[in-house]
């Protein structure tokens, strides 16, 4: 097809691109790698110079962190509890909402859909002051409830679920079950939800990561140390107590990112698929 000079040119082009991609890959990995390596070094070693080879001081750094009350296990637990609860609620109720929007005809449906589209675009940060006062007024500061329950009304998830359900839904699915006398809720639970498994999985990942990474809201609502989420704990690493304890500081950061990196190595295919399908913004 191509003559040899063209083929050569193509090869050179490809090589150049691979080199470029390689550089971008380094850019993605290197910051995390430096953090992880430094988490295993002593403060003087870190001061001496840059290194990409782990050393043996991880345990000491960990012990120092623990001594400072940096209870990362508790942070994992708190963040996991919040993210898992919020994700579960958001998945269930978003599917239910999407189902209602597709299967039933009712007054105000179009308005609801317009509202949901609008909500996707308007981030919750703009009403954070009202949200904060509202939560303070009903006495739910220092409580996980305001971090979890709003997930019931998650517009982006509804949008994604509806898009998905549209592609797989067929009235015959529901009709036969209705003839058998199944209740509407039962139809949703036994027929629709299982069908939506791929979409649920995708949104579960995004919902979980989104909630796990949330910083502003817990920062405003939570002040009990024992209730701190992971990003709030990470924030403590910038304070005075760690300024000279570099190894421990890096250990703290490393511990906050390792679970996500692990999760990503297993699930990256689904995550990329989700981004491709939905243009999802966290």
CB count in 10 Å sphere of residue 275: 14
Choices 56-64, 70-78, 139-147, 195-203; region in contact with other proteins by CB under 8 A? 139-147
Residues 6 or more apart whose Cβ sits within 8 Å of residue 187: 174, 177, 178
Q: What is the dihedral of CA 95, 98, 104, 110, to 10 degrees?
A: 160
By CB under 8 A, the residues from 233 to 272 that bind other proteins are 234-241, 243-244, 246, 249-250, 253, 256-257, 260-261, 263-264, 268-269, 271-272
Which of 99, 160, 247, 248 touches other proteins by CB under 8 A? 99
Q: Cα separation of 145 and 221, whole Å?
A: 10
By CB under 8 A, the residues from 104 to 133 that bind other proteins are 104-106, 109-110, 112-113, 115, 117-119, 121-133
By CB under 8 A, the residues from 73 to 92 that bind other proteins are none
By CB under 8 A, the residues from 151 to 210 that bind other proteins are 152-153, 158, 166, 169, 171, 175, 178, 184, 188, 209
**What is the gyration radius of the CA atoms in the chain, in angstroms?**
24
Q: How far is the CB of 85 from other proteins (least distance, A)?
A: 10
Contact 68, 279 (CB under 8 A): no
Dihedral sign from CA coordinates of 216, 220, 225, 227: negative
Chain centroid to CA 127: how far? 21
Number of residues that bind other proteins (CB under 8 A): 119
Residue 39 binding other proteins, by CB under 8 A: no
Of 60 and 184, nearer to other proteins (C-beta) is 184
Choices 53-61, 70-78, 142-150, 195-203; region in contact with other proteins by CB under 8 A? 142-150
Q: Cα separation of 86 and 152, whole Å?
A: 8
Residue of 154, 107, 99, 145 lying closest to 280 (CA atoms): 154
Which of 40, 61, 87, 94 touches other proteins by CB under 8 A? 94
**Region label for 53, one of left (φ > 0), alpha (ψ between -120 and 50) or beta (otherwise):** beta
Q: How far is the CB of 168 from other proteins (least distance, A)?
A: 11
Contact 37, 50 (CB under 8 A): no
Of 160 and 188, nearer to other proteins (C-beta) is 188
Q: How far is the CB of 197 from other proteins (least distance, A)?
A: 19
């Amino acid at each position: 097809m191509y003559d040899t000079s063209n083929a050569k040119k193509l090869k050179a082009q490809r090589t150049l691109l691979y080199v470029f991609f390689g550089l971008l890959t380094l850019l993605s990995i290197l910051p995390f790698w430096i953090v992880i390596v430094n988490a295993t070094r002593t403060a003087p070693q870190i001061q001496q110079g840059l290194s990409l080879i782990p050393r043996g001081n991880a345990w000491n750094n960990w012990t120092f962190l623990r001594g400072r009350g940096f209870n990362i296990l508790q942070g994992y637990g708190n963040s996991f509890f919040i993210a898992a609860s919020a994700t579960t609620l958001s998945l269930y109720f978003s599917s239910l909402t999407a189902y209602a929007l597709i299967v039933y005809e009712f007054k105000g449906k179009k308005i609801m859909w317009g509202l949901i589209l609008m909500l996707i675009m308007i981030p919750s940060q703009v009403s954070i002051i009202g949200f904060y006062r509202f939560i303070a007024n009903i006495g739910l500061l220092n409580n996980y409830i305001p971090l979890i329950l709003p997930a019931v009304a998650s517009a982006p998830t509804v949008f994604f679920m509806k898009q998905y359900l549209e592609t797989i839904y067929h009235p015959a699915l529901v009709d036969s079950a209705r003839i058998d006398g199944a209740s509407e809720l039962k139809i949703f639970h036994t027929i629709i939800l299982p069908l939506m498994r791929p979409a649920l999985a995708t949104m579960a990942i995004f919902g979980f990561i989104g909630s796990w990474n949330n910083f502003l809201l817990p920062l405003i609502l939570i002040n009990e140390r024992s209730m701190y989420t992971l990003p709030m704990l990470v924030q403590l690493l910038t304070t005075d107590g760690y300024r000279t304890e570099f190894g421990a500081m890096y250990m703290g950061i490393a511990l906050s990112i390792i679970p996500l990196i692990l999760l990503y190595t297993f699930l990256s295919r689904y995550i990329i698929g989700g981004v491709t399908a939905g243009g999802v913004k966290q």
